[in-house]
Structure 1
Amino acid sequence: MESDKPIWRECYSHPVAWDTAFEPMSLPDMLLEKAEQTPLAPVIDFMGRKFSYSDVAGGARRVARGLLDLGIGRGDRVGLFLPNVPHYVAAYYGAMMMGATVVNFSPLYTVEELKYQAEDSGTKLLFTLSVKALLPRALEVLNQSCIEQLVVGSIAGALPTGKSLLYRLFKAEDEADVPEDDRRITRFSALIANDGDCPPVPIDPVNDIALLQYTGGTTGTPKGAMLTHQNLTANARQVAVCDPNVNESDRAIGALPLFHVFANTCVLNRTIARGGEMVLLPRFNAKQVMDAIERTRAPLMFGVPTMYQAMLDSPALHGADLSALKVCISGGAPLPQELKLRFEEATGARIVEGYGLTESSGVVSSNPYEGGNKQGSIGHPMPGTRVKLLNREDPTRDADPGEPGELAFSGPQVMKGYWRRPEADKDVFVGGYLRTGDVATIDAEGYIRIVDRIKDMITVGGFKVFPSQVEAVLYRHPAVKEALVIGIPDAYRGESPKAFVALREGCMASGDELKIWLNPQVGKHEQVVAVEIRDSLPKTLVGKLSRKELVAEEREKYDAAKRANG
């Protein structure tokens, strides 16, 4: 429950004052300011090729000019269907220089998902690459949706000279043929073949939408969060000032996909806000990440828990020199404490857990990089961010003192609303605060702890079961690598908990053994009816464990059994 002097303000753990102000700023201005201050400093390391702030600012200007020549202007939606490549950075800032709104499209989307998001957002132009993993789907969407034009780049063109030649020689089978269609398809190289002379477009940072960032759709139809320039630059600066290492090299590993809001704020915009450098990798691969840390001596990494687990599981860990790595920020999903402790012991780096969501431009809260770092906590709010707990049954009231409640927050990073979804805005905003759907507690030192998601809670005979609490016990078992608990239909109790587990390599355990081990350690209503062993558990596009597939499977089984029994 928030008071005039909430406890998290009294015990604030970040190295700046809670009431630090973030003046309105556009994303292009943030980039251009750094390019003017440190034009020759590197901002991108892509497979060993360096791009300076001057390079990136110039590339963005040429993209802006090229888009203007293609008829793209203020308010138009420009899609990015790209992995982590330099083209992404130039297209992102270049489109915004034109006053256009960027729309992120995941490279893992199906054609149907691409078409839905294109139509919902009204995207006119899409950036992609000439690779078989992307271009065929982009062409289908060009022919079947409102998208009018494609801009197609080449990975080889962004690589260092030697690697570019090797790519052309040995990766030719990965390349897709680009159709000749001058009216609808433009090569990225042709788009930027200009002097970058583009008339400035006035941007209102507070009101103009910089990015339509679609929610993952794990609980329904994806919605586009309208993130303004100020939302994004404020959140980038909030995260930047929470890093106390102002005199050290700011070099971050960029393996987390930039199309995701976590990476968009923390890898891309935060790095530029600090005048730092991002080591971009086209996709996450544990060995490649460790090689990049060793090669660049990067002290910082942002990732989701499954990335850190994959690094622990990789045989390359034992021979890797990770001594430069100091801090790893974990977000996107709860961080199992056993994973945190094992990773820190194996690497010597510290994992700091934070929390955010699409609607917050990325980050709401974080543990401090140095000092207090409470296990299982998501830390204190970002500077300028207010949090409180709402009553779970009636969100118009605050939670009772000492009781868990739905976490809600307000601050400069809160989205403007959902794209063309005024009815959804009414559900998510309460008294100027944004509801997160997550149940939380706030302890005596103001540290926030997520208990569970409201929609994930299981109702067992009238009692509420938080899946994460049962999962936390499962993670204590030495054979358990990943765990998810869901509610399955129960004719008598309404729902019953069931666990799904993936085992660590080389470990053996049966579902019955784990059930017998688990149930005495949890409350009677939390006891699982079964533990099912799987080779792997379903994950979202960025590697978060996902319950929805398991819930759908179990519902289908239940419905089929009912039909069979008449």
Structure 2
Amino acid sequence: MTDSALPASPGSVSSDQPIWTTHYNHPCAWDQHFPPLSLPEMLFRSAERKGTAPLLDFMGRKYSYAETAQGARRVAKGLQAMGVGKGDRIGLFLPNVPHYVAAYYGAMAAGATVVNFSPLYTVDELAHQVADSGTTILFTLSATALLPTALKVLDQSGLERLVVGSVAGALPAGKALFYRLFKGKETAERPDDPRITSFSSLIDNDGAYAPVPIDATTDIALFQYTGGTTGTPKGAMLSHQNLSANARQVNAIDPRKDDADDRILGVLPFFHVFANTCVLNRTVLNGGEIVMLPRFEAVAALKAITRTKVTALPGVPTMYQALLDNPQIAKTDFASLRACISGGAPLAAEVKARFEEVTGANVVEGYGLTESSGVVSTNPYEGLNKPGTIGQPLPGTIVRLVDKEDPTKQVAPGEPGEIIFAGPQVMRGYWNRPDADAEVFIGEFLRTGDVGQIDEDGYIRIVDRIKDMIAVGGFKVFPSQIEEVLYRHPAVKEALVIGIPDPYRGESPKAFVALQDEAEVDGPALMAWLNPQLGKHERVAAVDVRDALPKTLIGKLDRKELRRAEGITA
């Protein structure tokens, strides 16, 4: 796979002149080439350039570029002393803590492939992905939420070793003492077991690791597990070049990337591809500073914004809603905030408008998936921003719309179709799943399973997921279109629509909502308000008012879990 704008492969979708080449609204050229670059080399180059400038701010403790790079080198040497070599899989079962950054780049410098695991995984989930990926060493923390799970997986799987760090050791001195004195219940005791190594012992060396040749284009930097476009969790194989190119693509569209004042709030979890690219790798590439929080809590995030004067705030829609709902927002200083990047799920126009009104910052909506190393397209940070769209493709990225039944054929201009894309960020494939690869690749293009439209300016609008479409008596109903109407009601805070079995029509739409604080309206009243605004086949069978709707690990509304809770398995 080349790094320039990719032509179609023989027998696949034809290659016409993309509309955005004539109206590209990002502040850079669309047709760009990104030379091969490994992630450790990216870090080390930035460390040479930035030296003692801060890279990480963890609860007030600063870590410089030079210090972080040396930490990565020490991790690499420590792993090599354990016998780690090219292609070995090293797991990270960590929240956003400094250990993550050192382990991530250090494992890759040793030639290994990193495997991201969510700290919220159960024993069974973690054990399954450890086995599937072939992970042999797992980094974690001595926290009650993590270590007991990791210990059970160590005993029940092919995992060979644990490397266990301490949160207190990464904090400023005063906060570390507070943590030890008052948060002991959050700390689990590390057993005396030869299979367990402390993080401090692992990095107790001079950092003079043996450099390993890395082919950035073909060597896999990261296994990122995803439900993907075909259902069950699979390991997307992301090369060094996939990830470094996507970081450079995201950086290229930032009109103020050369500013010395580049400070980003790192509250989205690094184990998720959105934060991995847009917060971690992009900021390291640019030489900025990451204000790290181990998990999202609205009050802590708002205080961090005021304390550190962040300039960027990436998030998911439910995060922006939670910040708006918190009374502390009235005391927060947003003057430094230049841009908020929303991804992971559709952003309601009302949430975008309210957040912009309160903060004075632009909220731009983008789009990506695990298989794209993070990002495919986004609205410009400045200039023409079209609410309800995911903007224009990143540099070097081609997006096309194809027939849902025959994806080798493009749809007519203006018509909806399945979104496919090609570019340097497209994954190498799924780990040990050639069957899944065959389902999602059309030559060098990747099928997304999302239905979209492209307007006359080259802006893309997501209509819905193919698998989320509801078949109502021969008509196709898109849940997102019903949800969009629901969000217009002032009482509605969150909305999801799914298809439920209907003996006559096959399926009928059913809506589920959570209400704004102090709102008082019931399901029948909402249904009476909603249905007259919909087409006959779109009208919902019921509106179910809930205290809260299910969410994924990063805070996205979870349609799959809602279906499961309703006993719908199809």
TM-score calculated relative to the size of structure 2: 0.96
Q: Are 2:401 and 1:374 equivalent residues in the alignment? A: no
Instruction: Give the deviation of 1:522 after TM superposition.
Output: 1.1
Q: Are 2:142 and 1:130 equivalent residues in the alignment? A: yes
Q: 2-side partners of 1:147 and 1:79: how far apart?
A: 10
SS of residue matched to 2:532: helix
Q: 2-side partners of 1:3 and 1:211: how far apart?
A: 30
Contact 1:2 1:389 in 2 (8 A): no
Contact 2:403 2:417 in 1 (8 A): yes
Q: 2-side partners of 1:209 and 1:436: how far apart?
A: 21
SS of residue matched to 2:313: strand
SS of residue matched to 1:5: coil
Instruction: Give the deviation of 1:551 after TM superposition.
Output: 1.6
* Equivalent residue, structure 2, for 1:325: 337
CA deviation profile, 1:47-87 (whole Å, cap 9, x unmatched): 00100110010000000000011111111000000000000
* Equivalent residue, structure 2, for 1:185: 196
Equivalent AA in structure 2 for residue 341 of structure 1: A
- 1:96-495 equivalent positions in 2, closer than 5 A: 96-182=108-194, 184-216=195-227, 220-245=231-256, 246-495=258-507
SS of residue matched to 1:353: strand
Instruction: Give the deviation of 1:341 after TM superposition.
Output: 0.4
SS of residue matched to 1:78: strand
Q: 2-side partners of 1:402 and 1:464: how far apart?
A: 18
Q: 2-side partners of 1:283 and 1:218: how far apart?
A: 27
Q: 2-side partners of 1:270 and 1:6: how far apart?
A: 26
Contact 2:27 2:255 in 1 (8 A): yes
Q: 1-side partners of 2:62 and 2:443: how far apart?
A: 47
Instruction: Give the deviation of 1:99 after TM superposition.
Output: 0.5
Q: 2-side partners of 1:296 and 1:2: how far apart?
A: 49
* Equivalent residue, structure 1, for 2:10: none
Q: 2-side partners of 1:126 and 1:366: how far apart?
A: 34
CA deviation profile, 1:339-377 (whole Å, cap 9, x unmatched): 000111111111110000000000000000001100101
Q: 2-side partners of 1:553 and 1:88: how far apart?
A: 34
Contact 1:104 1:214 in 2 (8 A): yes
Q: 2-side partners of 1:550 and 1:309: how far apart?
A: 20
- 1:69-88 equivalent positions in 2, closer than 5 A: 69-88=81-100
Contact 1:385 1:412 in 2 (8 A): yes
Q: Are 2:19 and 1:24 equivalent residues in the alignment? A: no
Q: Are 2:524 and 1:512 equivalent residues in the alignment? A: yes
Contact 2:470 2:478 in 1 (8 A): yes
What RMSD in Å do the two structures reach over aligned CA positions? 1.3
Contact 2:86 2:112 in 1 (8 A): yes
Q: 1-side partners of 2:414 and 2:27: how far apart?
A: 28
Instruction: Give the deviation of 1:248 after TM superposition.
Output: 4.8
Instruction: Give the deviation of 1:102 after TM superposition.
Output: 0.1
> Compared with structure 1, are the counterparts of its residues 127 and 362 closer, same or farther at alpha carbon in structure 2 (3 Å cutoff)?
same
* Equivalent residue, structure 2, for 1:10: 22
Contact 1:2 1:387 in 2 (8 A): no
Q: 2-side partners of 1:47 and 1:444: how far apart?
A: 46
Q: 2-side partners of 1:455 and 1:228: how far apart?
A: 28
SS of residue matched to 1:300: coil
Equivalent AA in structure 1 for residue 536 of structure 2: K
Q: 2-side partners of 1:154 and 1:459: how far apart?
A: 52
SS of residue matched to 2:245: helix
Instruction: Give the deviation of 1:521 after TM superposition.
Output: 0.7
**Structure 2 residue ranges without an equivalent (≥5):** 1-12
* Equivalent residue, structure 1, for 2:5: none
Using the TM superposition, name which of 213-222 and 281-290 deviates more: 213-222
CA deviation profile, 1:501-524 (whole Å, cap 9, x unmatched): 000111011000000000111111
SS of residue matched to 2:566: helix
Equivalent AA in structure 2 for residue 256 of structure 1: L
Instruction: Give the deviation of 1:401 after TM superposition.
Output: 2.6
Q: 2-side partners of 1:320 and 1:385: how far apart?
A: 37
Contact 2:228 2:370 in 1 (8 A): no
> Compared with structure 1, are the counterparts of its residues 293 and 2 closer, same or farther at alpha carbon in structure 2 (3 Å cutoff)?
farther
* Equivalent residue, structure 2, for 1:563: none
Contact 1:95 1:101 in 2 (8 A): yes
Contact 1:2 1:388 in 2 (8 A): no
SS of residue matched to 1:323: coil
> Compared with structure 1, are the counterparts of its residues 296 and 348 closer, same or farther at alpha carbon in structure 2 (3 Å cutoff)?
same
Instruction: Give the deviation of 1:431 after TM superposition.
Output: 2.6
Equivalent AA in structure 2 for residue 188 of structure 1: F
Equivalent AA in structure 1 for residue 205 of structure 2: N
- 1:540-551 equivalent positions in 2, closer than 5 A: 540-551=552-563
Instruction: Give the deviation of 1:554 after TM superposition.
Output: 3.1
Q: Are 2:61 and 1:36 equivalent residues in the alignment? A: no
Contact 1:212 1:227 in 2 (8 A): yes
**Structure 1 residue ranges without an equivalent (≥5):** 560-566
Contact 2:260 2:288 in 1 (8 A): no
Q: 1-side partners of 2:564 and 2:16: how far apart?
A: 44
* Equivalent residue, structure 2, for 1:564: none
SS of residue matched to 2:265: strand
Contact 1:255 1:289 in 2 (8 A): yes
Instruction: Give the deviation of 1:4 after TM superposition.
Output: 2.7
* Equivalent residue, structure 2, for 1:562: none
Identity over aligned residues, as a percent? Answer: 67
Q: 2-side partners of 1:216 and 1:516: how far apart?
A: 36
Equivalent AA in structure 2 for residue 40 of structure 1: T
Instruction: Give the deviation of 1:216 after TM superposition.
Output: 4.1
TM-score calculated relative to the size of structure 1: 0.97
Q: 1-side partners of 2:93 and 2:15: how far apart?
A: 44
